[in-house]
Amino acid sequence: MVREDGSKSTVINISSDNVPKDFITWSTFNTVFMNSCCLGFIAYIFSVKSRDRKMVGDVNGAQDYATTAKRLNIAAVIVSIVSFIVLIIVISQQK
């Protein structure tokens, strides 16, 4: 592409087909509401790292961080639900 003043410019098209999810919303929810053993906060850190890698263009690095964030989010949800159920059982046994 050549401009009117004779200078050239370059256009880069970024394909959004293989952009990994960063799970930032899920990590934020787990950080605020289900932060058992700080798993939600650690997942949030990995989600931010994934987003940073995605912005730089490192798709493989972003995918690795996103996978770790997803696994930590799953662990945070499971640990929180199990803890809540155990808490309910303990409280119901005391009455």
Banded pLDDT at 14 (limits 50, 70, 90): low
Closest by CA position to 66, among listed 53, 82, 80, 83: 53
Residue 78 in contact with residue 35, Cβ under 8 Å?
A: no
Segment 25-79, tens digit of pLDDT? 999 999 999 888 899 999 999 999 999 999 998 999 999 999 999 999 999 999 9
Q: What is the pLDDT at residue 22? A: 87
